[in-house]
Amino acid sequence: MITLYGSPRTRSLRVSWMLEELQLEWNYHYLNLQAGEHHSDEYLSINPCGKVPALKDGELVFNESAAICLYLAEKYGPHFLPSPGSDQAALHHRWVSFTICELEQALWNMGKHRFALPEELRVPEMQETATWEFNKAAAIAELWVPEEGYLLGEQFTVADILLCHTLNWAMAFQQQLPTKLMAYRKRTSQRSALNTGLEKEMNGKAMSKL
């Protein structure tokens, strides 16, 4: 049985979305980040980084949301990935790398200096710098994103999950998106698997309080 360790509206939503796209049976283990459960000895034995998500699939235990989504697609749903070695695969690799290293990194810098870092280590001026970085990356993504469909046309892929989740995170951080990116975010967010994945995470959180 697959177990996802996470918390609603964090990077674990990428994995719950992927799991729902694959229509797999899976369990959700909610971690209360405010209570510091991600720093407990039990969880650190699963993910020494002390972050979410982490995944158990049989004897395999590992972390990093992009790696988890790629693994799940390779093992359970290769139709969510382009053919290896193809031109489409090259573009897919680029989108995955660009989303994680450029778009998300700028947003995570905002988050770290708003709430994630110890207060004495936060630098308020980082907000302006991170916004500039995000806008620069978003302008490049605007050049690449198609006006219709998904990143690789009609085929929905792991890269779409990563990019859409990141853009939704940008909206939560009150960032402005260019026209095509905003349209892409809206149509991709309409996939039912995203909503069912979030619902399962929210239900897991509610059940933990009973």
Over its C-alpha atoms, the chain yields an Rg (Å, rounded) of 17
Q: Residue 154 corresponds to which tokens in the numbers above?
A: 């009609």
Domains of the chain: 2-79+193-208 (3.40.30.10), 81-190 (1.20.1050.10)
Q: Residue 77 corresponds to which tokens in the numbers above?
A: 């749903």
Instruction: From 111, 181, 114, 196, select the one nearest 142 (Cα to Cα).
Output: 181
What span, in angstroms and rounded, lies between the C-alpha atoms of 114 and 67?
26
pLDDT of residue 84: 97
What span, in angstroms and rounded, lies between the C-alpha atoms of 118 and 113?
9
Looking at the whole model, is its pTM more than 0.85? yes
Q: Which residue is it, tokens 């994680």? A: 100
pLDDT at residue 207 is higher than 80: no
Instruction: From 194, 195, 85, 98, select the one nearest 145 (Cα to Cα).
Output: 98
pLDDT digits 0-9 by tens, 27-71:
999 999 999 999 999 999 999 999 999 999 999 999 999 999 999
C-beta neighbour count of 64 within 10 angstroms: 17
